[in-house]
Structure formats: C-alpha cells, structure tokens
Amino acid sequence: MRKESFIVDTNDGGKRLDQTLAKRISGLSRRQARVLVDIGGVFVDGTRVKVASRPLRPGQRIEVHVGGAFERATKAVGQSARTRDAAALPSFRIVHEDDDVIVVDKPPGLLTAPTPESDRNNLADMLTRRAGLRILVVHRIDLHTSGLLVFAKTRIANQVLSEQFRRHDVERAYLAVVGGVFPADIRSLAAPIRGRHALTHFEIERVLGTATILRCRLETGRTHQIRIHCRDLGHPVLGDQLYGQKAPATGPHPPRLALHAAELGFKHPRRSERLHFNSPWPPDLAGWLAHLASDGPA
C-alpha cells in the first residue's frame, strides 16, 4: 500500500479535495481521486473524509492511502458503485453464532477488518450490516489467508476474548504448504519478529515430493508470524509473494497463499465452556493439493 501525506498550502486554500489530490498525488487523476475519497482512503487532519467537494484550508494535513482496495474498486462513485464492489466479494460461512460471539470461516480475498484505505467491504463491516449492530474485531488473518476467526457482539465479550488472546489462552493452528522437505527434527521456532517474542510449533502432516504440509500452532500471534518463521527456516509458504517463492520448483502452482486457519479454540466469554472449531482445506487449495499429491510420494 502506498501512503502519502502533504500540508495544504496557500495556493490550494479554498480548492476542492479531489482537485488538490489530483494535483499533489503522482499518478492520481481527478476521477480516481473521487473514487479514493469515496472508498475512504483519504484523511483530513486525522479524520476520514468522504466528500470530494470539501474545500480545503491552508495548513490542513492530508493523508492518502492507495492500495488493493482502490485497485479492486469500481472506478465510479456513489452507492451503486460500492454496491457493485460488495457484490464482487467472496461469500463467507458462519460456523457458530450466539448472543456474544460469531465464528466465521473466511474465504481468501476478503479483508478481516477496516484498513486506513477503506472502511467498507470487509468481513467486520459485512457482519455489522448483517446483524444490525456493531461487530467487534478480536483478531485478524491476512487478505489471502482463509480460515477461522472469532468476532465479538458485545464490548464485554470483546474484552474477555481479547484478554484470552493477550494471555495466549487460545488454540490456533494453521495448515501451511511449504517448499521442500521440512526437517522432521524441527518441532518449534522461537525467533523474534520486529523485536517481539514469537513462538511457532510445527507438525509434519505429509510430504508431497517438492513440498510439505505442516500444521503450525501459534503460541504467540505476531503479524505474518508463520510466513516469516517458515521463510527463516528455509521453507517458505508456497504462493507467498512477500516472504517466499511464488510456486514450487516443479508441479502445479498454488492458486494463492497456501495458508489456512484450520483450528480455533477459546473459552466462551460468558459461559465456562471451551469452544473448539475445525475447518478443512477450502476447495481452491484442496484441488491444488490433489494435483500436487499426484506428482509426488505420499
């Protein structure tokens, strides 16, 4: 994502926001500026602004976020354009819902929560509109990662669940397909990420010739933890365009990042019971794995 900021000078005082954005942000036309404002990617003095015609004053700070949401957005403004954007999103599956929590199996290609670029068309936003009340984000998984997430329906539930995540009192396991034959003697890796303690446990599920299916259990929850730890061990997650190789040396290419949040367990925020959920490989990765298995030994 590209982030830029500038201070409105006297020459731009009184001019429209979209007009000034087109002038000050390289590669952004006035029409594109209106779309970026419409999806929520522009802040004026720290507040998200969605009115392209808003006049500016000298000294105001403008912050602009341009990334994937802008690239995917219908290049028009207004409710109908944003409705078309929403219709193009992949569908999600609700695994469990009660008065306190919602557990969702998220597809790849759907953001978990609002970002600085856009506050719409993410899973939290879709759940909020569906429920008619604000759904609170407890934790996140990446755009291209699929799998299980829990959201809170009340502030108390959010506080209790967030504390469980803080204490690492949750069960989280991801299925990952990594390049090469993963060493059987590596069971854990404790290596800091951005200066913070991070611990991942590994179990080999299956070796498929040029790749290995791992079950990765998180003891901590740093951003991109599994992807970084697998890369550091010399076995990057296949399809990882940020930390690893895009495809195995031989065999079919993965359709996307080969990472899936397969297990999630936590204590119910109001009742004493522990809840545990499982999600199998989604169809896109299951089909790819079937082809990969046919090319390598079990």
pLDDT of residue 245: 63
Q: Is the pLDDT of residue 154 over 90?
A: yes
Tell me if 133 sits within 8 A of 97, measured CB to CB.
no
**Final residue belonging to a domain, choices 82, 107, 137:** 82
User: Are residues 203 and 110 part of one domain?
Assistant: yes
* Average pLDDT of span 27-47: 97
Handedness of CA 223, 226, 229, 235 (dihedral sign): negative
What is the residue-averaged pLDDT of the chain?
94
* Average pLDDT of span 92-121: 96
Percent of the chain with pLDDT over 70: 96
Structural domain count, the chain? 2
User: Are residues 164 and 39 part of one domain?
Assistant: no
pLDDT of residue 252: 65
Tell me if 10 sits within 8 A of 57, measured CB to CB.
no
pLDDT of residue 1: 86
pLDDT of residue 298: 42
Give dist(CA 285, CA 273) in Å, integer: 32
Token pair 């291209």: residue: 144
User: Are residues 102 and 65 part of one domain?
Assistant: no
Amino acid at 285: L
Amino acid at 184: A
Tell me if 125 sits within 8 A of 114, measured CB to CB.
yes
pLDDT band at residue 272 using 50, 70 and 90 as cut-offs: confident
Give dist(CA 88, CA 153) in Å, integer: 26
Tokens representing 210?
């040029």
| Owning domain of residue 66 | 2-82
* Average pLDDT of span 25-45: 96
Handedness of CA 123, 94, 138, 166 (dihedral sign): negative
In 3-state terms, what secondary structure has residue 39? helix
Give dist(CA 45, CA 139) in Å, integer: 28
* Average pLDDT of span 111-127: 94
Enumerate the active-site residues.
142
pLDDT band at residue 253 using 50, 70 and 90 as cut-offs: confident
pLDDT of residue 268: 98
Q: Between 120 and 54, whose confidence is greater?
A: 54
Q: Which residues of 86-102 are buried (b: 16+ CB within 10 A; e: fewer)?
A: eeebeebeebeeeebbb
User: Are residues 106 and 68 part of one domain?
Assistant: no
pLDDT band at residue 281 using 50, 70 and 90 as cut-offs: very high
Closest CA to 205 of 260, 142, 270: 260
Q: Does pTM top 0.85 for this prediction?
A: yes
Tokens representing 252?
């079919």
* Average pLDDT of span 212-231: 96
* Average pLDDT of span 169-189: 97
Q: How many residues belong to the chain?
A: 298
Domain assignment of residue 87, yes or no: no
Q: Is the pLDDT of residue 248 over 80?
A: no
Give dist(CA 18, CA 51) in Å, integer: 9
**Final residue belonging to a domain, choices 82, 101, 133:** 82
**Final residue belonging to a domain, choices 50, 82, 114:** 82
Percent of the chain with pLDDT over 90: 90
